[in-house]
Structure formats: C-alpha cells, structure tokens
Structure 1
C-alpha cells in the first residue's frame, strides 16, 4: 500500500505499492507513479507523467507533462524541468516536449533540464548544471551549459 501524507493532494489512482508521498505535494489525476518511490514535500507532478519504480524526488521539484522517468532515478532538491522551448503567457502548446530520464540516472540539486532531451542510463548531472542537450549513458556532466567531465564505470567515476 502506498503512504500518502494527509496534507498531500493525490488525484491519481496510479501510485505504486510502497510509494510515500510527503506533505504539500500535488499529483494530478493522470500521472503514473511506480512502486517504492519517495516523493518528498513540495513536489508537483502534472498529468502526462510516467515515473518508474524506486525513484526519489527531493523537495521543490515540478515534474511537467511529457516527463518519462525510469526506475532507480534520483532527482535532487529544486531540480527544474521544462517542456516548452518558447513559453508565453496564456499560449499553450498542443504537444509538449518529451524528456526522458533513463534508469539509474542522478540529477544534482538546482540543475535545469531543458525539454526534449534524454539523460542517459546511470549518468550523473552535477548540482547547478544546465543541461541543454542529450547526455549519453554512464557520463558525469557539469556546468552551464553542462558538458561531459568523465566517464562512469561500475558506479565509480574514472
């Protein structure tokens, strides 16, 4: 059974077994969230979102339509995702950009991830980075704009 704090607003019926949703979080009706996830306080999850199993979402994160987050992903505090390259007030795009976060990826605190890109399997994004293009699997990326720093082999940075 999932554990939903009484001060959270969870409209979705698709929240997996063992997932914990902390206080002051909002999950909209059509979102799909896997098992054993940890959705911290002050998280907003829109409708067209799929989150896998064993995902941690730290406080202050908004997960917009078009996000696909696979299993065992870590999303640090205040990570910012986008889904529109040309946002304007009161002008809503018909098709949002799809962003894919592959299994085992970790995204450091206060990073910004532009819409329409893929963060590769087991990759690491350093805190405060601005990711503007696809990140291949097993790489550490840092900076603004983020760039490859090192390869990651067997959970060690080489």
Structure 2
C-alpha cells in the first residue's frame, strides 16, 4: 500500500515515532529533527514558511520537534529564521498553522496557531 508519506533521508528521528494512520499525506522537510515518542497524525507538514524563496537565500536553519510532542491531523509546523523549536510535550492541534517556537507542555491551536493551554496529563 503506498503511504503518500515524504520523509527525506536527512530527517533525524528519535525512538518510538508513531505515524498514526500511517502518516498518510505527511510531508517533512529535510532539515528537521524529531524527538522520542512523537506522534504524527495524517496530513501533517513540517517545513519552512518561506518555501517560495530559494533555499540558499532563506534565513531558515532547522525545525526541532521535542520529545513526547503530538502533531494532530492537518497541522503545519513552518519554521522561520534560525531554528524553530516545538517544546517537549507540546500539542499542535488539528489544522493549526504553527509559525513560532513553543515552550514545553503547551497546547497550540488555530491559524495562525496561538497558545491555548497547557498539558496537565504529564
């Protein structure tokens, strides 16, 4: 079964990554690090927000997804200048468009995503 999943060889992945629904339709940019015990649902994109700019002209460096992060269906994590970090334990809600770094154990939702709460289950 074709998975329609794009994870280039350069992506660094920690242990126990879960691709819920096989990560169907998920696209991950090469300059991404994914921590341990991360859950990625279908239709997630992790990349850079200035994809219209040639890579050698972009100030984008990297996206770092921390440990125990949950990326719900359809969310987009789009890095800007430098390194964009999704803090350990953070949840990015369904269809959210995250354009900034987060702290740890936060819940982000909306377009553009904004902080809407903190995890209490950890």
Task: Normalising by structure 1, report the TM-score.
Answer: 0.66
CA distance in 1, matches of 2:52, 2:4: 23
Equivalence for 1:52: 14
Flag structure 1 segments of 5+ consecutive residues without an equivalent: 1-22, 25-40
Please state how far the C-alpha of 1:63 moved relative to its aligned partner.
1.5
Please state how far the C-alpha of 1:135 moved relative to its aligned partner.
1.2
Cα 1:59–1:86 shift into 2, 3 Å = closer
Equivalence for 1:66: 31
Within 5 Å, give how 1:81-120 maps onto structure 2: 81-83=46-48, 85-88=50-53, 91-93=54-56, 97-115=61-79, 116-120=83-87
| SS of 1:82 mapped into structure 2 | strand
| SS of 1:141 mapped into structure 2 | strand
Higher helix share: 2
Task: Say if 2:102 is the partner of 1:140.
Answer: no
| SS of 2:61 mapped into structure 1 | coil
Contact 1:66-1:83 at 8 Å conserved across structures:
no
Equivalence for 2:45: 80
Moved over 3 A (4+): none
Please state how far the C-alpha of 1:94 moved relative to its aligned partner.
7.4
Contact 2:49-2:99 at 8 Å conserved across structures:
no
| SS of 1:81 mapped into structure 2 | strand
Equivalence for 1:16: none
- Give the alignment's Cα RMSD to 1 decimal: 1.9
CA distance in 1, matches of 2:72, 2:114: 14
Q: Deviations over 1:112-146 (max 9, x none)?
A: 11124111101111100000101110111110111
Flag structure 2 segments of 5+ consecutive residues without an equivalent: none
